[in-house]
Amino acid sequence: MNKMLVYFLLLLIQVILSQLIQPGPDWVLTILPVMMLCFPTDWSTLRCMLFAFFSALFVDFFSGGIIGLNVLALVPVAWSRNFFLRKFFNDELVDRGAALSMRKWGFPAVLGLIVLLTALFLLVYIVVDASDQRSLLLEGRTFLLSLVCDTVLALLVLPSILER
């Protein structure tokens, strides 16, 4: 299936998840960071950021949350995506636009990338969402809980994103 089609489907799933599950202050439910891997690896950072910006804005509008919060958290993920791809895999992957596959690069590297992108998203999201109203301990707990849940969720949707 076309990766961009998968991307838009995941975007709808994200909106539905946000509306149905209504995450409380203790955890953040998101698959937006892992969705950044749907973009072809040879896409420029600017292009990734533009897609991330409008996608996150779409989610913000239809999920009933704070408008701009997902944008604020997802754009840095898109900005750093190519950098992490080069660091976790190699330059050739980005330069040649090779496909990202679990079999070729191994589960640990892919998992590490997902955890890092998700952690970056959650860090911005949770800090701005709390707005200095919650203790550092509570924010840390929310972060860890969300990171575990979102990583599991990302692993569930990962087969549709990666090359078989």
Contact 81, 36 (CB under 8 A): yes
- Among residues 15, 23, 53, 149, which is the contact residue for another protein, using CB under 8 A? 53
132 lies in the site for another protein, by CB under 8 A: yes
Instruction: Pick the closer one to another protein by CB: 142 or 153.
Output: 142
Q: Would you count residue 45 as binding another protein (CB under 8 A)?
A: yes
Minimum separation from the CB atom of position 57 to another protein (A): 8
Contact by Cβ (8 Å): 73, 125 = yes
Residues 9-38, mask of contacts with another protein (x by CB under 8 A): ------------------------------
Q: 3-class secondary structure for the chain?
A: CCHHHHHHHHHHHHHHHHHHHCCCCCCCCCCHHHHHHHCCCCCCHHHHHHHHHHHHHHHHHHHCCCCCHHHHHHHHHHHHHHHHHHHHCCHHHHHHCCCCEHHHHCHHHHHHHHHHHHHHHHHHHHHHHHCCCCCHHHHHHHHHHHHHHHHHHHHHHHHHHCEC
> Between residue 55 and residue 114, which ones bind another protein under the rule CB under 8 A?
60, 66-69, 71-72, 75-76, 79
160 binds another protein (CB under 8 A): no
**Residue 53 or residue 88: which is nearer to another protein going by CB?**
53
Nearer to another protein (CB atom), residue 75 or residue 161: 75
Out of 46, 99, 148, 156, the residue judged to bind another protein by CB under 8 A: 46
Residues that bind another protein (CB under 8 A): 44-46, 49-50, 53, 60, 66-69, 71-72, 75-76, 79, 128, 131-133
